[in-house]
Copies of this chain bind each other. A is one copy, B any other.
Amino acid sequence: MKVVALAGGVGGAKLADGLYRVLPPDTLTVIGNTADDLELFGLHISPDLDTVMYTLAGLANPATGWGVVGDTFTTLGMLERYGEDAWFRLGDADFATHLRRTAGMRAGQRLTEVTASLTAPLGIRARLLPMCDERVATEIETPEGWRDFQDYFVRRRHEDRVTQVRFAGIEQARMTPETADALAAADFIIFCPSNPLVSVGPILAVPGLRDALVASPAIKIAVSPIVGGKALKGPADRMLAERGIEVSAYGVATGYVGLLDAMMIDLLDTADAPRIEGLGMAVQAAQTVMHNDEDRQQLARAALAFAATLAPRQSVV
């Protein structure tokens, strides 16, 4: 069995981690969002990939969901002494990741290759793939103008109103061979409960990737990131509302029409089920909020079991 998960940052990483723990080794491929990558201090930083990586490696800081547990912040403190702005909280262990990634890329490695060279020594028996090897940059239009994603998200704590989102560079991006292979070989593709606009959205916007997803024989299901009309984390709820999309599991589902076989929604949102079914998707409700490791694994098991009940297509075993 092969499972592909599409994931953004913290929420996506949690379900990816649940899937990783309940599946046999070397079964899971996570395709991660890289459109909120940034360059700081000359280093290439891939926050979403790293959040997934640290989480799967058991290194994630449980208090924040991102960063390395027990990390120190000496480098950043010294950079501040040098007059640098330290708004993006990079820990010292985290710097090692960015150093190695940047050195690899400068030496000509693709981001896909560099990522594998990071996950392997951490003992991760899942494949972590960036959505593409090219640089794509999510930009957020606010009433004061366009901002880089992390400027909006971290520095300004996603407090601005969002009038538009664009993925600069996406036209030049290409689905990688590794992603194409993973999608074609998948039995199940799971959209993790990540922000549909700025986490899953960029992944689906990579030229070729949406078509490959549609063409894949896999059962495709999404776990709704909206629970009881609210995003569990981050600005997804406000972003949906500002774009005129209903802030509900149903609203999320409307963005995935033609892509999904099914949606898994929270027990709070069972009232959405008939409308989602009206979009041509099967629906199942479960406890989707992941407070701890057991919640992650339970949701992963539920999603896989639900997917398995859906009529297997011809090319699925």
Given A83-B121, A106-B42, A121-B82, answer yes or no on A75-B92 (Cβ-Cβ < 8 Å).
yes
Which B residue's beta carbon lies closest to that of A68? B78
Contact with B along A67-107 (1 / 0, CB 8 A): 01001101111110111100000011111110110110010
B41–A81 CB distance below 8 A? no
CA distance A42 to B41 in the complex (A): 12
Check if A168 is an interface residue, CB within 8 A of chain B.
no
Q: Which residues of B contact A100 (CB under 8 A)?
A: 41, 79, 82, 84
A93–B118 CB distance below 8 A? no
- Give A275 Cβ to nearest chain B Cβ, in Å: 48
Q: Majority SS of interface residues in chain A?
A: helix
Which B residue's beta carbon lies closest to that of A73? B92
CA distance A93 to B80 in the complex (A): 10
A99–B41 CB distance below 8 A? yes
A75–B95 CB distance below 8 A? yes
B121–A92 CB distance below 8 A? no
Q: Which residues of B contact A106 (CB under 8 A)?
A: 42
Q: Within residues 33 to 86 of chain A, which ones have a CB less than 8 A from any CB in chain B?
A: 41-43, 68, 71-72, 74-79, 81-84
CA distance A94 to B91 in the complex (A): 14
A74–B72 CB distance below 8 A? yes
CA distance A122 to B83 in the complex (A): 9
B77–A74 CB distance below 8 A? no
A96–B82 CB distance below 8 A? yes
Q: Which residues of B contact A83 (CB under 8 A)?
A: 121
Given A92-B72, A95-B75, answer yes or no on A81-B42 (Cβ-Cβ < 8 Å).
no
CA distance A94 to B99 in the complex (A): 14
B81–A99 CB distance below 8 A? no
Given A42-B106, A72-B74, A91-B74, answer yes or no on A96-B79 (Cβ-Cβ < 8 Å).
yes
**Which residue of B78, B96, B121, B122 contacts A96 across the interface (Cβ within 8 Å)?**
B78
A43–B82 CB distance below 8 A? no
CA distance A46 to B93 in the complex (A): 22
B43–A81 CB distance below 8 A? no
CA distance A117 to B91 in the complex (A): 23
Which B residue's beta carbon lies closest to that of A118? B82
Q: Which residues of B contact A84 (CB under 8 A)?
A: 100
**Which residue of B74, B91, B121 contacts A81 across the interface (Cβ within 8 Å)?**
B121
A75–B96 CB distance below 8 A? yes
Which B residue's beta carbon lies closest to that of A102? B42
Q: Within residues 142 to 178 of chain A, which ones have a CB less than 8 A from any CB in chain B?
A: none
Q: A68-B78, A72-B72, A81-B121 are in contact. List 6 more A-B contacts (CB 8 A).
A: A41-B103, A42-B103, A74-B74, A74-B92, A75-B95, A92-B95
**Can you list 22 residue pairs at the A/B interface with Cβ under 8 Å?**
A41-B99, A41-B103, A42-B99, A42-B106, A43-B99, A71-B74, A72-B74, A74-B74, A75-B93, A76-B96, A77-B96, A78-B93, A78-B94, A78-B96, A79-B99, A81-B122, A82-B122, A83-B121, A84-B100, A92-B92, A92-B95, A95-B99
Pairs of residues from A and B, 3 with the lowest C-beta to C-beta distance, nearest first? A78-B96, A74-B92, A42-B103
